[in-house]
Structure 1
Amino acid sequence: MSSVKRLVYAVIHFLREQSQMDTFTPDEQESLEVAIQCLETVFKITLEDTHLASSQHLIEMFTNSIQKNDMLPLSHSLPEGVVKADQLKDEGNNHMKEENYGAAVDCYTRAIELDPNNAVYYCNRAAAQSKLNNFREAIKDCESAIAIDPKYSKAYGRMGLALTSVNKYEEAVTSYQKALDLDPENDSYKSNLKIAEQKLRDVSSPTGTGLSFDMASLINNPAFISMAASLMQNPQIQQLMSGMMSNAIGGPAAGVGGLSDLSSLIHAGQQFAQQIQQQNPELIEQLRNHIRSRYLSGSTEEHS
């Protein structure tokens, strides 16, 4: 208690000096006097207790302490691994700005290895994984971030994006709702929640066969857009499209009821599918898996 009283004595002495300066108005000086009286009453000391006085003035003690702390490098106050991890996080953020997402994932991964209890590193890596279309890895990272910090709204928001991208709309809605509970004014969470809710309504509507296909998701898929643009530059595809347009304008062949055109259309479709398979077999596999999962969902609930 003696050290506390010595500190309070130094504060009272400092306030007394300030109250006697002309830089303060009478009202401000009165406020200082009230503060002094409160401290004296609570700690039961007065300026007459000179045995509590320090050899250094309060300002001098404060200045010396600040200068001493400023001379210490950051590594003296934080473990070396934590400092390096934060540097790697900054490097990863720079890679994200440069759209070098693979390098960003590498930086965040190394940061996690050095400081595995930092939710930000997992959440940042989730953002990079989503940019690389590694949505399931992004979901895992968001779950890790939330396990560390259950009130991390950004982790819920990014998990909602990843869940939407793998057509888990109900879980995405739950994630966005949690994100909004933690950050009610975030417009991005609000708009993304509406999108996920609409997609959930679309897939929940009766389809008869249960084999409905989310064409909007396909068209908005970056891989599909890139592949389609590449295919349209292919001379063979351009020739196919030109032939189909010519047939459409010329009308069905006389006397065969359009069977010639239909045969040409089927043949063109087969060639187009072959081109897609050659250009992006991974996308074809994704489409097949999507249809299988939609077919099985009517009888078997998926568990993860």
Structure 2
Amino acid sequence: MSELKRLAYSIIDFLREQTKSQAWTSDERESLEVAMQCLENVFKISSQDIDLAVSPSLTEIFSAAITKELIWNTPSDFTPSAQDVIRAEQLKNEGNNYIKEENYRAAIDSYTQAIELDPNNAVYFCNRAAAQSKLNNYTAAIEDCKRAIAIDPDYSKAYGRMGLALTSLNKHSEAITYYKKAVELDPENGTFKSNLKLAEQKIGEASSPTGAGLGFDLASLLNNPSFVSMAASLMQNPQLQQLISGMMSNAISGPAAGVGGLTDMGSLIQAGQQFAQQMQEENPELIEQLRNQIRSRSFSGSNEDHS
């Protein structure tokens, strides 16, 4: 019970410090005071029980944590030894080899060890960002790109990889900003230019009433065994068979028959819409997976080099 009292006293002390801040509204300050009273009543303690105070206080602990976070997010004055620099480069090269082998978790581990030895090398953060993206850890990739940019604001590859991570999260507007910066820093880089153009196209498609749903890559679909299996199953649907049979009959009859043959776009659109709807109902998870795969393939970067 004594430990609980110490904890309660620490919390009350912390809340008391918070009430001194001018940032709180009167209602918020009143809520803090009610919380303190409740703790005092439950544990039968007051501000006079100084013997329950612990050191450091919660306020000091939080302040230290915030300071540590600020230090982590800005380049440090730490200077690694010559031996650490050599070892960090070795670890980076190991990570690059793991990337080539598509062993991305091992690559992340190697880059992380390199960062621990030399935390002011932007390349290590940028390369780890690439590995994180390969594992779909886009938020972590973005954080690593931010660190790389903080260390080296002129590192074009960090902006390019930031754009790729943002694109994968469908944050195309933000991605465009970083792609433009990457192109500005490295105007001869064709990958940056291509990704910028694709991101701008995505924005255009999103704002166009006819742009939605036109990004599928037929080759990617036909190479997916799950899609082929599902499509074969759906083709057994009598209504869909009837639509396709009618279209084939029109194609054989030709325009002279007055039906329009292959130019009967109404039938084609109707069949396509029904087929897409049934696919969505049959396996929505697969369709979403396909969308994500195709979306990611639309952007360059799979064959990019690592520093």
Q: TM-score, normalised by structure 1?
A: 0.51
1:175 aligns with 2:178: yes
Offset at residue 230 of structure 1 (A): 2.8
Alignment of 1:216-295 (within 5 A): 216=215, 219=216, 225=220, 229-234=224-229, 237-243=231-237, 246-251=241-246, 269=277, 273-277=281-285, 283=289
Distance in 1 (CA, whole Å) between partners of 2:157 and 2:144 is 12
CA spacing shift, 1:267–1:154, aligned 2, 3 Å: closer
Tell me the alpha carbon deviations over residues 148-194 of structure 1, each in whole angstroms, 9 at most, x when there is no partner. Answer: 11111110111112222222222112112211222222222222222
Partner of 1:298: none
Which deviations, in whole Å up to 9, do the C-alpha atoms of 1:125-169 show, x marking residues without a partner?
111222223222222211110011111111011111222222222
Residue 201 of structure 1, CA deviation: 2.5
Deviation at 1:226, TM superposition (A): 7.5
Q: Which moves more between the two structures, 127-136 or 117-126?
A: 127-136
* 1:1-304 → structure 2 map (5 Å cutoff): 78-205=81-208, 207=209, 213=212, 215-216=214-215, 219=216, 225=220, 229-234=224-229, 237-243=231-237, 246-251=241-246, 269=277, 273-277=281-285, 283=289
Q: Deviation string for 1:27-79 (max 9, x for gaps)?
A: xxxxxxxxxxxxxxxxxxxxxxxxxxxxxxxxxxxxxxxxxxxxxxxxxx944
Deviation at 1:227, TM superposition (A): 10
Give the CA deviation at 1:247: 2.5
- Note the C-alpha offset of 1:200: 2.1
User: What number of residue pairs does the alignment pair up?
Assistant: 189
Partner SS state of residue 142, structure 1: helix
Q: Distance in 1 between matches of 2:116 and 2:227?
A: 45
Q: Percent identity?
A: 52
The Cα offsets for residues 240-294 of structure 1, whole Å up to 9 and x where unpaired, read as 2243553224449xxxxxxxxx9xx9799557634343x68x84998xxxxxxxx
Q: TM-score, normalised by structure 2?
A: 0.51
Q: Is the 8 A contact 1:88 1:108 kept in 2?
A: yes
Gapped regions of structure 1 (runs ≥ 5): 1-76, 253-261, 287-304
Distance 1:228 1:272 in 2: 18
Cα contact 2:234–2:278 (8 A) shared by 1: no
Work out which structure has the larger RCO, using CA pairs closer than 8 Å and 6 or more positions apart in sequence. 2
Task: Check whether the contact 1:118–1:148 (CA below 8 A) recurs between aligned residues.
Answer: yes
